[in-house]
Each structure stands twice: as C-alpha cells, then as structure tokens.
C-alpha cells in the first residue's frame, strides 16, 4: 500500500463484486453519529470464498491507506502477511475485521474500552453474515478474545450452525511482540498452527 499505483488500483476495486457486500457495510458504519470512518477491506479478499476471519483490535496506523490489509505499511500487517505466506493461505480464503471497526482517538493509545468492545459486537455479527461460508475466527489479542466470547454467549444460531470455531492467539501489534527472539518465534508458531488447523477444517490446501 506504500506504492501509490497499487493503492490507487485497490481503491478503484473497493466495490468489486468479491468485496462489495462487506465494503458497503463499512460505508454504512462510517455514516453513524460523529465522524468515525471505517477502513475498507482490501479487495484482495473475497466474501464468497472466505472460510477464515482474522479478527484484530482496531484500525492501526497502516490503515491510513484506507484499507484493512496485510499489504499495509506497518509491523502488524507484515507479521500477518508472513504468517499467511508460511502456511500457504491464499488471501481469498481469509478476511480481516476489527473488534472496533472505527478509528479510536489518539489519546487511547490503541486500547479499547469495555463499551467500545461491546459496541463492536453488532457490526461483527453483521460482518459474519456477509461471509456465509466462514467456519473459523482467529482472534488476535485480548480484545478480540473478549468479542469472540460475547459472540459465543449470544448463541447466534445462523452463525454457529456452521460448526464455527474460535482460535485465540496473540495480537500481531508491536506491543504484543515485546519479548526475546525465542518468545517471538513461539508466538508466531502459535498463530501458524491456528491458521493451519482452520485451513484443514475448511478443506483449504496450502498455496505453494
């Protein structure tokens, strides 16, 4: 996304058929009270083909591109892109979303309040109903774990009838990766194993 030509191409494709439904939802969420823009999902993903949801906390600095994307120019996106590459996960089979899809004020330093996590539940449920073939959520970080728990307690039959599974792993953000090299490798391995298992359950073969 740091390349202007690539970013412009993705912007022109943001309402292509493969991401139209989810990006219309992003537009709708952006039109609520106050100026709270919601970044679009990168059109490298595919609503109909999505089997795995990658759930993170909230839009980070890389989403200045206008997109939630593993092609963004930040460490979190780079880590996630590396995990996808390591397990051979084609991006059309996975789609990103955020617990709190809106940008948070700078004074919060990226941390979400309980009220913000709760506010993200209804948009998340609506998002999951656009990716009807998804059977797993890989929840990155404590806030994503909490939202997944809220979803489970609501017992949405339409969603959980799919044999839905939630994987709770570490956030890909910089603060979550403060540790020695051995710890960092262990955290990345945990992520890879979660995506591996989700791919196996969904019948996704690694792209090599």
State residue 19's pLDDT score.
98
Per-residue pLDDT band for 161 (boundaries 50, 70, 90) equals low
How much is the pTM? 0.92
Residue 45, both tokens: 């993903």
State residue 11's pLDDT score.
96
Within a domain: residue 24?
yes
Q: Among residues 8, 126, 111, 122, which one has the least CA distance to residue 67?
A: 8
Within a domain: residue 187?
yes
**pLDDT value at 155 more than 60:** no
Within a domain: residue 185?
yes
Q: Per the structure, how many domains does the chain have? A: 1
Looking at per-residue pLDDT, the higher value among 163 and 85 belongs to 85
State residue 180's pLDDT score.
86
199 vs 193: CA distance, rounded Å = 10
Within a domain: residue 207?
no
Q: Which residues fall within 8 angstroms of residue 156, CB to CB, at 6 or more apart?
A: 125, 128
Within a domain: residue 72?
yes
Residue 103, both tokens: 């940008």
> SS3 for 72?
coil
Domain, as residue range, for 123:
4-202
Tell me: the pLDDT tens digits for 100-140? 999 887 767 768 999 999 999 999 999 999 999 999 999 99
Which DSSP state fits 198? Answer: H
Tell me: the pLDDT tens digits for 55-68? 999 998 889 999 99
Within a domain: residue 8?
yes
Tell me: the pLDDT tens digits for 27-58? 999 987 666 889 999 999 999 999 999 999 99
Within a domain: residue 18?
yes
Percentage, residues of the chain above pLDDT 70: 91
Are 134 and 53 in contact by the 8 Å Cβ rule? The answer is yes
Which CATH number characterizes residue 113's domain? 3.40.470.10
Within a domain: residue 208?
no
For 34: left if phi > 0, alpha if psi spans -120 to 50, otherwise beta; the answer is left
Of 7-11, 101-105, 146-150, 154-158, the one with minimum mean pLDDT is 154-158
Query: What is the chain's mean pLDDT, rounded?
Result: 90
60 vs 67: CA distance, rounded Å = 10
Q: Which residues fall within 8 angstroms of residue 57, CB to CB, at 6 or more apart?
A: 98, 99, 100, 110, 112, 140, 141, 143, 144, 171, 173
């Amino acid at each position: 996304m740091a390349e202007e030509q690539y970013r412009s191409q993705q912007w022109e494709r943001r309402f292509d058929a493969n991401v139209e439904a989810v990006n219309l939802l992003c537009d709708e969420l952006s039109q609520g009270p106050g100026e709270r823009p919601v970044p679009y999902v990168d059109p490298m993903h595919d609503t109909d083909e999505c089997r795995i949801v990658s759930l993170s906390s909230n839009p980070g600095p890389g989403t200045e591109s206008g997109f939630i994307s593993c092609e963004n120019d930040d460490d979190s996106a780079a880590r996630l892109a590396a995990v996808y590459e390591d397990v051979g996960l084609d991006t059309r089979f996975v789609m990103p979303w955020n617990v709190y899809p809106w940008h948070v004020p700078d004074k919060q330093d990226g941390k979400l309040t309980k009220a913000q996590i709760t506010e993200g539940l209804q948009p998340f449920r609506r998002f999951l109903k656009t990716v009807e073939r998804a059977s797993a959520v890989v929840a990155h970080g404590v806030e994503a774990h909490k939202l997944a728990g809220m979803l489970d307690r609501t017992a949405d039959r339409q969603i959980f009838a799919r044999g839905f599974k939630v994987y709770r792993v570490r956030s890909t953000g910089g603060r979550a990766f403060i540790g020695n090299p051995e710890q960092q490798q262990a955290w990345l391995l945990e992520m890879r194993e979660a995506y591996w298992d989700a791919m196996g359950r969904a019948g996704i073969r690694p792209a090599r």
